Structure 1
Amino acid sequence: MMFYRWHLFERAGEFIMILHAARLFQQYLVDQFCKVEAERLSYLRHNQTKLRAADYTSLRDSLGDSGRAEDEADAVRAGRLFILPFTHIGCDSYMRQQMHGIIAISNQIGHPDIFLTMTCNPSWPEITRALLPNQTPQDRLDLCARVFRLKMKDLMFLVINEDVFGTVVAHVRVIKFQKRGLPHAHVVFFLDEVSKNDLRNPENVDRIISAEIPSAQDPELQEVVLKHMIHNPCGERNPTAVCMGEQYCRKRFSKPFKHETSQSESEYYITYRRRSPSAVVRLSMHLPNHHMVYFEEGREQEAAPRSASGTKLTEWFKANENYPSARHIRYHKFPKYFTWKKSSKSCTYDFSGTGANVVGRIYTVSPREGERYFLRLLLTQVPGATSFENLRNIDGEQCTSFRQACLRLGLLANDAEWKHAIRDSFRSSFVPLSHLFATILAHCQPSDPLSLWNDYLHMFLTDIRNRARGQPIRRQQLRDDRHDTSYVLGEVQEALQTVRSNWTLAHFGLPLPDDSLPASEQPNEIQTPEAQAQHRLFFLDAPGGTGKTFVLSAIQDFLRSRPKQVIAVATSAVAAVLLDGGRTAHSVFKIPIPVSAKSTCNFSTNSDTGRTLQQVDLIIWDEIVMCYRNCIETVDRSLCDLMQTDRLFGGKFLVLAGDFRQILPVVPGGSRGDPAADVEALNFPQFLLSVGEGRLQCDQRPEWISIPQSVAFEHTIRNLCLKVFHGIRDNHVDPTWLTNRVILTTKNRPLEQVNEVIRNMMQGPYRTYLSADKVESEDTNALIYPTEMLNTLTAGSDLPDHKLKLKKGFIVMLLRNLDPTSGYVNGARYVIEKMTNKLFFLRVTSGSHEGNRLCLPQMPCGPGDDNFPIPGFTRTQFPIRTCFALTTNKAQGQSFGGRIGLDLRDHCFSHGQLYVALSRTTHSSNVTILTRESDATTRNVVYPEVLQ
């Protein structure tokens, strides 16, 4: 980069050819920067297979006690593949780090006060004077950028040092380039409290900015404003203006006249990222000897002793021990008074206080990470700790875990909800109590699992003995309290590992099953012969309802009888439960959320998931057409790294199944319209194929089709519900009758309206369950969000409603993946058999797991959308939703034997939606459609190129 910079400067007595190249000079600049960027990425790319990451303990364990691998040839590769570091400007992790830094500034200082934009003017005299003969500013964008940067520095000096707007305590800046090649900057300034109060006075606002044309008494300023700051005519006077949208100006001009300045109550989120180094210091957060170690593959022995040195967290402990006067400082305030030296990995005390504007930010941790989450909670609250052990010392008592320390400090809520749930389940004997306990551990984040276990151990033992009656084999395994306790612990751990394979009871501070006792089951030892087949990837394509699931199940049964190891996954949870032992692809392959084009799966070579995937003979992946390309490529990339081969998917046998006529992944902001073919009088199966393949169209509306006359139509939502659920008063206690009927919608919005109509059609009183909503993130000021506002928040189909109005016998849909092996997955439908204040008793109504029962407690639920406006929002509620109506996306993969209704008031908007909706039943007489139009037409979106 410095080499090319040197060539861009003019030097006396030297002719620089490239500066005379006019527009070719622009191309030269772009090419050279791309070359530099490509070299940086090339280094990272070619070292990806060598550069790995692991925590210090894992690295030490992989090398053994001696610090050396026993056999260099057979040594297990430590760590997982390491992708672009956040130091690479522009990558996803860089952007996330910048965002969290800005949020940390906003949390410590408050919301920004001034939003300023500065643009580059190519007519600036500093630019025009420096142009060579016959040149224009467009020929010398290097001059434009250089002058802009100097003026930007001058502006920042005026604002920050001359207090033009008031006293600035922090600022965030980003420089971007417009489409025409000129730079512009966006800056937000944070002012001190005095200056903030001044801005609340409209007169002071008028002193900073004005929306009036200056007086003729200041001709220079008037000329500048008239030339550069007047919005050209638009709207009715000029409907073809570039600023015009469909009906109005995108910039919201013209503005209304007002007699005085007023301040709007609305606020904007901070969305800008810094490109230059900031005043935010990121603070590491790790358990003892679990800090991350980065190394090249094959150099583990060198990395282990080097990485035993200090981290920012351990240096904070040392600083508290060496400087008693600093023991009032909490960890996230540490950078204000100490300077981190990266070379020596140590800190020095800054007595001058020059770091007063430095902001510390502890890396965020999910509550699901157990001890790491509780450690972070302690670090944000406890000052002056001198070691991990000292951090756990509360009022002179040494706690055994960080969780226990948080409990002693009152930082965690009690477990009253889960205690009520365990007692209710024990009294009902509805499902094994061990399964409910595993659900609470995995999804409800109890603050003290060990106390729950100890307090209710007698109930767990009584429950297992009651269930053993009439089962001679199980009764023989139960002998005394010690054996029975170990048996229950084994059941809990087995249920936990269906949720996450690397979870054990130790993760929650619970005792492990006694290994000295005889095990009831041992995993099968399967030797997989080396397969030499050339073709290892197969795709099963067939229209909906023609038996894809049957064929996949037959393949599973055949191979498992050989015996072979088979893993069955599906893109959606609903499709996964239809396969024997099926789970979602995200849970099996540990696909990250969100996933990018450079992501890798979250498993390492020596993890349980890695070992399972190494030994598997066949992978079945259903509903592959619903999966994003990035997800598939992430699995491919990770399997290749796992198997140490460049073959597709690591050389594993894969059977992919799907129907490209059905719904594809929804791409945010994407749009597509395709013509279709003429409609003819067809039978229903042929009609469905024509719809799915886009061979139907109306004469004058190519994206629309006519529905066959054999399909019934309604024009009000109540009539549609009466048609589909005719006879519900006599059959409301028959779950089979209810689950074979459904109303499908294209969007989430009409679901509650449909469910409300059907709720009122059913007899009997209903119960109301309200959620507890709160904001838990330290990055958010929870006080600015009143509870009544939080109660109104929704997040599509991921978040349960604040108010649930339910009756016994209702059909509900689960909104969480609890236990895929038992069919307890997101999208599965259940019937309510019993309700208490703290527990729901549900039964699976269809599929291979029909009849399975689930005890469901309330649990913390968060929005699945990364762009949800309130970070850290949590709703504690039963994760279910009334399910007499479904979206077409949720219905994909399901079939209904009774009537179905289609609410097409909102027309289909994505590929395959109409085909999926119509093909959920086998005969047109079972379909009733609600439309806004009277001519029986609707929109059908089909992408022909997908079907080729």
Structure 2
Amino acid sequence: MPAILCRLFKIKLNAFIKDLRENKIFGTVQAYVYTIEFQKRGFPHSHICLFMHSDNKLPTVEFIDPIISAEILEKVEEPELYSLVNEFMIHGPCGAQNMNCPCMMEKKYPSVVRLPFHLPNQQQIVYGEDDDIDDVLDKPFVAASKFWKRRKVGKAIDRIHSVSPNLGEAYFLRILLNKVKGPTSFDDIRTVNSQTYASFRDACFALGLLDDDKEYIDAIKEASHSGSDLSLSEDEVKNLTLFEIEQILLRNNPTLKKFTNMPYPNVKSVSSSNNRLIIEELDYDIPVIKNDFDRMFLALTNEQRNIFVNIMSVVKENKGGVFFVYGYGGTGKTFSWKTISAAIRSDGNIVLNVASSSIASLLLPDGRTAHSRFILPFELTEDSFCKINPNGKGKLGGPNDDKTIIDIPDDILINDPDDPIGLLIEFVYPSILERYSITNYFQERAILAPKNEVIQEINDRLLKKFPGDEVGYLSSDSICESEFFHYQFDANLYSSDILNGLKVSGLPNHKLVFKNWCSSNVTEKY
């Protein structure tokens, strides 16, 4: 969830920056700089500084008010919220208008002082570039740490800078500095009820400043005494618990190794626990997969079963091999892959289902794209390579792993750079005007193209060659409201231009053009 929130925030931030720069909602922006901060609950916000053109400076209140405004809730309609906003979210007036404002001390604005702090023996030392390092280290203040004392002159608002919980002891020290009154040393601030604790974290626990797991610990202890099937030692329970925690963390990218105060599970006692890929690929229900395999195997055709037997024999003999299955769409290639995958996984083995596109990968069980699985680069060059360990079992072999030359027959090459589609049509459909009325002529040839746009261009070029007048048919440019039965239908969201421009796989385009004798023969074959 945090990752999704951050991505949505970045999308909105980019859109806002675009409005500032390109749409010029405040005027011409010459430069900008921003920083992103995360609040205590992890929600991001941004501070943006704009450097405006001299013609679009905002020097007066009259210029700023139309751009930045805020409204206070109605006191009558929302009395509780109004009271909270008025008490905690509104500052002022202060100064001469209100000397009793919290920001006023002795009828003056108090200064705000940032209070730095450090862990024991980690204080900053200031010295000149020409000072001798031994003389600097011998000075008395180097080994001493000063704790803050009450100001003797004047008053100020003191603030301790924030510290991330990932910094460990520094984070717990900051908590103690905000809670413990009048400490004079690090030992003093770690002392609770006359007991000096070894770490600031332990002192925080002793003071009750951190949430503990006492209730969960008591429940686990109670279950260990009452449960009849629990026969693990304390060390085994601890190791398995840490292992499960590690798996949860790994699914969200971090690991227990990042937490210096947390123990790490013994990877040797848990099979393959140090390999995230193996853990993920073995995380399936074998009985369910066996049932799926039995059901799919019975549904295989004779041709699919021959493919299954050939591939599985190589797998069981651990020989390895490369297989290419050719077939038109809808002939059951994906079903064959699913059956083979279920057969291997039902034996407790690992299958990596990959595809070249994200849509194709969704059709495979736990499928992923090859770029995602093998970390393939998206922009390929002569020096591109994937991050597969060359010393592993997947190492490619053979004399042509680097570079090789492939001879392509001249009769299948398109040698016309100016009109390649015209040359392709002439090659596949020779003498088409004399033979287009012969049915077998189109049954023996076809042109395959990777994109619908290319198919449309080929169809248009062929259609213009045939004699006769064109007849066009348009699709319906409205949506059936019955599909919106469960929620309100807004026709304004779906204009005619949008509907007419849709090009959906498996459906014809908005406009179809036909001619006599060629309407069915040409368009159905592409």
Bin the TM-score by the shorter chain.
0.3 to 0.5
Higher-helix-fraction structure:
2
Normalised by the length of structure 2, the TM-score is: 0.33
Larger Rg, first or second structure (1 or 2)? 2
Normalised by the length of structure 1, the TM-score is: 0.21
Higher-strand-fraction structure:
1
Does 1 or 2 have the higher relative contact order (CA < 8 Å, sep 6+)?
1
